[in-house]
Structure 1
Amino acid sequence: MTDPAVVQVRAVGPILQVTLDRPHKRNAVDPAMTSGLEAAFTRLESDPALRVCVLAATGDYFCAGSDLVLGAGPHTAEGGQYGMIRRSRSKPLVAAVDGPALGGGFEMVLAADLVVASRTAWFTLPEGARGRLPAAGGLLRAPARLPRNVAVEMMLTGTRLEAVRAHELGLVNRLAEPGEVLRAAYELALATTASAPESVAQILRGLERTEEPAEKLGWAVTSDAMAVLLGSAGRTEGTAAFVERRTPAWAIGAEERSAILDATDDPHTPAER
């Protein structure tokens, strides 16, 4: 059952606006949100009056990914993770990102067909710092949507990708000023209605079929990797460190990091043989 305090859904003409509304938790996905997203995207596909979806969020964050305490709930039959990550759609999805999108939140963006972002928004894949990996499509979709080296750096270091840079790299279709993202997303959503619904559906289905072999392999690899990490000490420590708001035990401390970097300035440091 959809909790209106977690997922808000409204139809505005041919646009279905789906809004993540858990701002006190940075819109982290819990079981109720997954259920709400599943219901919303089912409505999108089943209602012929609806032709496009805009996914937005309330508060300062677009989405911080899965709730590491409550979990995101089980994968749904139609949408997989979060009720939408692996859903087959015949109608376009526009992500309206007016704040940071972390982990699974960025993977929601990667699942969209079109992206509008605030100039101050940013994206990260920080799962490695928590003993995990980007399991909601990031492992396969980030290198497909971005230059490989950029995606690898994001996954291995948790570095931020600023929206302006993401626009330069082609991930973000349109940039907007903070507070103006939703309107810009609506404009782009309405632009898609210039094409016939049947044409839009076949374009999306065609893209899905073209990408299917790589996606199938990518999901299998993701599943295998997650199985290895599931009971690992790294995952346990990473989750504990996140909940306790501390640095994981494996992380290199600031003093040691500084010493390592300082060593590069010492011309007398002997090389290892």
Structure 2
Amino acid sequence: MSYIKTETDGHVLIITLDRSDARNAFNLAMSEEMESIIDRYEEDINLRCAIIQANGPTFSAGQDLIAAAKGERSVTKGRGGFGIMNRPPRKPLIAAVEGQALAGGMELTLCCDIVVASTSAVFGLAEAKRGLVAIGGGCFRLPHRVPHNIAMEMIITAEPRSAADMHSFGYVNKLVEPGKTLEGAMEYAALVVRNGPLATVASKEIAHRSATEQWRDEAGWRIQEEIIKPVLASDDLKEGLAAFAEKRDPVWKGK
């Protein structure tokens, strides 16, 4: 049984959670499916950006608690929780959120670089209400994405916040009308895929690692230099410079 649908639109991969009868909650099979999809996304040179959305009124309620009560963990060997949380893709990832993104559902959006949300969407780390801990990245990623006191409120009260609130905190990049999140996400994706794919991946890695590893200046310059070496030696860099000089759009090859 497939719990996730995928389709491509040009250089964009659209990933759709499709377990609406269970509020798009993740069991192990769904997590393994997600891991396989993310692996394919990473490997496909023609794909430069991915979007995660969901069918049904709920984006995701997180972990399948019925499966968890039976001892099943939604954790894969390669990428961890939900097949993505421990090791999100190096390529850009955008969330298109309609409805509730709760517990692991919100942690799934924490794996994303850009969040587009419906005005009716809701975000929350609800784990503590069930005696659980937000170990899918919620407890250590959220304080880097919103003011610390707001993150602490959400973590220890387990109460959700509206999409409008999350937009005001800077967590949600763009608010749209209900039913328009994929459209809004595709607008961002179009901006992403026009850029050099190698440069985009390297830029994401530098930004992510500098935020999570708390680089000092000296280390930052050294690590950044290692990350951009393939970009500086790439055909894409030559193409980008040539296209600028010739006043035309570049044709990226991703190498």
With normalisation by structure 1, the TM-score equals 0.74
Aligned to 1:144: 144
SS state at 2:82 partner? helix
Secondary structure of the structure 2 residue equivalent to 1:172: coil
Q: In the aligned structure 2, how far is the partner of 1:131 from the partner of 1:76?
A: 23
**Count of equivalent residues:** 211
Q: Which runs of 5+ in 2 are unaligned?
A: 215-255
1:211 aligns with 2:211: yes
- Shift of residue 74, structure 1, vs aligned partner: 5.0
The answer to whether the 8 Å contact 1:116/1:185 transfers is yes
**For residues 177-223 of structure 1, what are the alpha-carbon distances to aligned partners after superposition, in whole Å with 9 as ceiling and x for unaligned?**
00111111111111111321011011111123223436xxxxxxxxx
Report what 2:111 is aligned to.
111
Q: Does 1:17 pair with 2:17? A: no
Counterpart in 1 of 2:80? 80
* Equivalent AA in structure 2 for residue 152 of structure 1: M
Is 2:122 the counterpart of 1:131? no
Residue 111 of structure 1 aligns to a residue whose secondary structure is: coil
Matches within 5 A, 1:28-107: 28-71=25-68, 73-107=73-107
Amino acid at match of 1:54: I
In structure 1, the partner of 2:164 is: 164
Which amino acid in 2 is paired with 1:10?
Answer: E
2: CA distance, partners of 1:176 / 1:88: 25
Q: Distance in 2 between matches of 1:66 and 1:106?
A: 11
In structure 2, how many angstroms separate the alpha carbons of the residues matched to 1:157 and 1:73?
24
Q: Which amino acid aligns with 1:79?
A: R
Moved over 4 A (4+): none
Structure 1 pair 167–74 and aligned structure 2 pair: CA distance change class (3 A): closer
Q: CA deviation at 1:88?
A: 4.6
Code of the aligned partner of 1:29: F
Rounded to whole Å, the distance in 2 between the matches of 1:158 and 1:90 is: 30
8 Å contact from structure 1 (residues 90, 200) kept in 2: no
Amino acid at match of 1:66: Q
Question: In structure 2, how many angstroms separate the alpha carbons of the residues matched to 1:47 and 1:85?
Answer: 20
Structure 1: gaps spanning 5 or more residues: 215-273
8 Å CA contact retained: 1:8, 1:19:
yes
TM (norm. structure 2) is 0.79
1:42 CA drift (Å) = 0.5
Q: How does 1:246-257 map to 2 (within 5 A)?
A: none
Q: How far apart in 2 are the matches of 1:16 and 1:73?
A: 27
Shift of 1:10: 1.3
Say if 2:174 is the partner of 1:198.
Answer: no
| Residue of structure 1 equivalent to 2:4 | 7
Question: Greater CA deviation, 84-93 or 36-45?
Answer: 84-93
AA aligned opposite 1:133: V
Kindly provide the amino acid, as one letter, of the partner of residue 38 in structure 1. E
Aligned residue identity for 1:31? L
Give the distance between the partners of 1:54 and 1:151, measured in 2 at CA: 25
| Contact 1:89/1:204, CA 8 A, preserved across alignment | no
- AA aligned to 1:148 is H
Aligned-residue offset at 1:75: 2.5
Instruction: Determine helix, strand or coil for the equivalent of 1:146.
Output: coil
